[in-house]
Amino acid sequence: MFIPFRHKNESTKQTSVLATLALSTACITLPLSAEAQIMQNTPQSMSVIQQETTLNLTGEGKIEVSPDIATISLGVNVEADTASQAMKQQSALMNKVFEALEKAKIADKDMQTGNISLSPRYDYSSSKNGPPKLTGYQATNTLGITVRKLDTLGSVLDSVVSAGGNTINSISFGLDDSSAALDAARKAAIADALAKAELYAEAAGYSVSRIITMNEAGNFSPSPQPVMMARMKASESASTPIAAGEVSYSSTMNVQFELVRK
């Protein structure tokens, strides 16, 4: 009779396999147990996001200051029978205007040609049924200048007219460096928005907690105005009287506030 023979290491192998399976089971269950423990320890407040109470407002700030510069648009406008005559005449007059400005100590950097134009002139009344009649040509040369000594502004304009300048289109007053005035207007706009926020919050039983967002909607600087719009007042000199007055710089700020219950 054949009697099966069992190797002495066979039982050892089976024991090793069972130990490995037990270890694997422990490795699998450990993370699950740890995950459950972490979920139990998680504060409930972390899963609840409360909505902010916000208030959106617009603040406006305006600063008025005395100007220290004036910008003027002036030039010559001539008419002649031919195009070449019109251009020659405007050129001769404009050269005299430049000489007058140089004598008035207007720097080259403060003078800039704005426009030169030449156009034909027609008479539409003489021929009702036919084409209009050419009567000549018009030449225009416009120059922009900056006057930095306002007490000489009237005499500068007089010298330009005496030299042959026959058009003064506009004049504006401003600051050579407007950054400080604009910054002051921005601060005033933010203060205006904050004052409104505190007023509205107080009326609703809230208080202002913080500013969430803030952006500048725009700012304003003085723009050129027609000369006839400038306010005039008496002057001790015989030159053209000019009143600089004050110029305004403004800013608009959009601000979002967070409110909290008192």
The torsion angle over the Cα atoms of residues 168, 169, 175 and 178, rounded to 10 degrees, is: -160
**Residue 155 CB neighbours (<10 A):** 17
pLDDT at residue 51, rounded to an integer: 62
Beta bridge partners of 207: 260
Residue span(s) of the chain under CATH 3.30.70.2970 come to 69-174
Average pLDDT estimate for 109-116: 97
The CATH homologous superfamily to which domain 69-174 belongs is Protein of unknown function (DUF541), domain 2 (3.30.70.2970)
pLDDT at 179 over 70: yes
Provide CATH 3.30.110.170 ranges for the chain: 53-66+178-261
Tell whether pTM > 0.75.
no
Q: Which of 173, 175, 150 is nearest to 240 (CA)?
A: 150
Q: What is the mean pLDDT of the chain?
A: 81
With a CB cutoff of 8 Å and minimum separation 6, the contacts of 151 are none
**Residues 117-158: pLDDT tens digits?**
999 999 888 767 778 889 999 999 999 999 999 999 999 999
pLDDT at 233 exceeding the cut of 60: no
* Residue 27 binned pLDDT confidence (cut-offs 50, 70, 90): very low
Q: Which CATH class is domain 53-66+178-261?
A: alpha beta
